[in-house]
Amino acid sequence: MTRPIIALDFATSNEMFSFLDKFPKDAQLFVKIGMEMYYQSGPDVIKNISARGHDIFLDLKLHDIPNTVERAMRVIGELGNIKLTTVHAAGGSHMIAAAKNGLLATPNGQNTKLLAITQLTSTSQRQLNEEQLIPGTVQDSVLNYARVAQQNGADGVVSSGLEVQAIKAATGSDFLCVTPGIRLQTQPDEDQTRVVTPAVARQNGSDYIVVGRPITQATDAVSAYQQILESWEQK
């Protein structure tokens, strides 16, 4: 069983560290550093978190021309201690392949798994058809991106839990499915549109769930984490 990944979306590193301090000192968490923390604190935040023994998902969602992404991924690879990192699949096959090459170019990056974002969990059917002008269902688009990602060297994808069964059927069980947009039934969706509970993510075959506000904004963060963990581990 993997641990739920906690999205550390905080405005300052002080806030982030006081959140982490609520957990027992020997708790080995799996945490996600996104744009907000990384733009603010840079590589230091990675060093400080891995010094505490936590595993790191660095989620910068790169989306640029292949050369730029390859060079940026080389820098991410050199940071070391990054288990998972992301690009947008919409950047295309050449960009995904370049991202993987960038990681493979550094010894540390060879241990970093590359994930492609398919359709963000905040994207609705209407936005897909009317704003992105992509016809068909969200699942069709997610599956298309998952195939392109797999064919170009990605190790997995990020999608909603609603699409995981279909992705696994199309790509095989080793291709990682990472699932944000996680909410317990009683929790508000906020800006997410394609949400599932941890239990449903597990039943559908997700390898990892990513959970932010339901834990980081809870009055009792440790018990909120426990509740998510129990739902995730439930058969």
Ligand X SMILES: O=C(O)c1cc(=O)[nH]c(=O)n1[C@@H]1O[C@H](COP(=O)(O)O)[C@@H](O)[C@H]1O
Q: Is residue 196 within 8 Å of residue 184, measured between CB atoms?
A: no
Give the burial string for 35-61 (b: 16+ CB within 10 Å, else e). Answer: eebeeebeeebbeebbeeebbbbbbbb
In whole angstroms, what is the distance from residue 173 CA to residue 186 CA?
A: 31
- Provide the minimum distance between the beta carbon of 26 and ligand X in the complex, in angstroms, as a whole number: 25
**113 is a catalytic site residue:** no
Return the number of the residue (59 or 70) whose C-beta is nearest ligand X. 59
Residues in 69-98 at the binding interface with ligand X, rule: CB under 6 A: 86
Task: Considering the candidates 55, 59, 100, 155, report the single residue annotated as catalytic.
Answer: 59
| Residue 177 interacts with ligand X (CB under 6 A): yes or no | no
Taken as a whole, the chain contains a residue count of: 235
CB of 120 to ligand X, least distance (A): 4
- Establish whether 64 is a catalytic residue: yes
Tell me the Ramachandran region of residue 136: left when phi exceeds 0, alpha when psi lies from -120 to 50, beta otherwise. left
Query: Any contact of residue 180 with ligand X (CB under 6 A)?
Result: yes
**Per-residue mark of binding to ligand X, 12-31 (x: CB under 6 A):** --------------------
Which position among 22, 26, 44, 64 bears the catalytic label? 64
- Neighbouring CB atoms inside 10 A of 82's CB total 22
Other beta carbons within 10 Å of 83: 15
Closest distance between ligand X and the C-beta of residue 107, in Å?
Answer: 25
Annotated catalytic residue 189: no
Out of 212, 225, 231, 232, the residue judged to bind ligand X by CB under 6 A: 212
**Which of 211, 228, 231, 232 is in the footprint of ligand X by CB under 6 A?**
211
Q: Is there a contact between 20 and 29 (Cβ–Cβ < 8 Å)?
A: yes
Which positions touch ligand X (CB under 6 A)? 7, 9, 32, 34, 59, 86, 117, 120-121, 158, 180-182, 192, 210-214
